[in-house]
Amino acid sequence: MAIVVSSGYALNRGVLIGSRIDTAQLSDAYPVPFYKKHCTYLFFNGVQHVWTSSESTRAEAESSSCASLKNEPVIRRRRKPSDA
């Protein structure tokens, strides 16, 4: 039972399954490249790619980390507004 609950919690938050580094540039007028790190998370309803950071060198982008669980869950609890 605990394994099922913890697996459900993890898939609701998104489990890190990989990352990649992309090279980009702002425009043709500013050709200096920068590097974007994308983290890939597995959810109940599929896979989501999240852009996490951009750095001036590839080494800096590779050294930035992805969270093992994504910050925002897929299913959110609804809270009743307080009557204060």
Distance CA 43, CA 65 (A): 19
**For range 3-31, the mean pLDDT:** 84
Taking the CA atoms of the chain, what radius of gyration do you get in angstroms? 18
Q: Please state whether the predicted TM-score (pTM) of the whole model is above 0.85.
A: no
pLDDT score of 74:
67
Cα 75 to its chain centre, rounded Å, is 16
For residue range 40-82, list pLDDT tens digits in order.
988 888 888 888 777 888 888 888 888 888 777 766 666 666 6
What angle is formed at CA 40 by the lines to CA 46 and CA 52, rounded to 5 degrees? 130
Segments making up each domain of the chain, as ranges:
10-63
What is the token pair recorded at 21? 């580094």
Q: What is the pLDDT of residue 84?
A: 53
- Closest alpha carbon to 61 in 69, 49, 70, 53: 53
